[in-house]
């Protein structure tokens, strides 16, 4: 059984990409986060750490002499470090990463404390390809590789849900953007795929 989460929201900005960061007349076609499998390991680490902490604390309290009770603090600090590094950190990275596709550009934003971002205008896109690993075939995710006409290295977006559909949509957005820039009819711009 494959779990499916909604990929695109029809102009629903509930994911939070601010409208003020868009150019005039630029509209968001869809936005998504990395695939949910990115939070699977942090969830397992969270559960294992909580149970491990409870077990070790009980073991220290019941089995060790009073002069070794300070080990509880060691167990607590160890559990806290594990939670921050392997559970909370990855979850926050997933939560603060956005992949936004507009009618003019592709935007990638991420970062917990320091925000990083990369934009690629659709006019500069030469090729859009994807790579779906074996586990990605089961869980419906992959890597989107976008090559640009500029001097930069392009854009690689990892953990993209429904990557094949997104690749197809990006090509349609590129064609519509080209018509718009040439002053042609943009009515052929595909609405959101699930609208």
Interval 61-85: pLDDT, tens: 778 777 777 888 888 999 999 999 9
Q: Is 192 exposed, middle or buried (0-12, 13-18, 19+ CB in 10 A)?
A: middle
Q: pLDDT at position 111, please? A: 93
> What's the rounded mean pLDDT across residues 128-133?
96
pLDDT band at 187 (very low <50, low <70, confident <90, very high): low
Q: Is 34 exposed, middle or buried (0-12, 13-18, 19+ CB in 10 A)?
A: buried
The proportion of the chain whose per-residue pLDDT surpasses 90, expressed as a percent, equals 65
β-partners of residue 125 are: 148
């Amino acid at each position: 059984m494959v779990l499916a989460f909604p990929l695109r929201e029809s102009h629903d900005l509930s994911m939070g990409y601010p409208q003020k960061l868009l150019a005039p007349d630029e509209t968001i076609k869809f936005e998504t986060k990395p695939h949910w499998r990115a939070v699977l390991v942090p969830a397992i680490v969270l559960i294992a750490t909580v149970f491990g902490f409870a077990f070790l604390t009980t073991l220290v309290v019941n089995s060790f002499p009073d002069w070794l009770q300070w080990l509880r603090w060691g167990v607590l600090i160890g559990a806290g470090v594990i939670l921050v590094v392997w559970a909370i950190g990855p979850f926050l990275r997933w939560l603060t990463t956005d992949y936004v596709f507009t009618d003019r550009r592709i935007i990638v934003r991420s970062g917990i404390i320091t925000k990083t971002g990369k934009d690629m205008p659709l006019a500069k896109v030469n090729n859009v390809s994807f790579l779906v690993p074996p586990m990605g075939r089961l869980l419906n995710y992959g890597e989107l590789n976008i090559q640009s006409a500029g001097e930069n290295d392009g854009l690689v977006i990892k953990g993209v849900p429904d990557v094949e559909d997104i690749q197809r949509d990006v090509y349609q957005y590129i064609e519509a953007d080209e018509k718009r820039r040439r002053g042609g009819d943009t009515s052929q711009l595909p609405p959101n795929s699930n609208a």
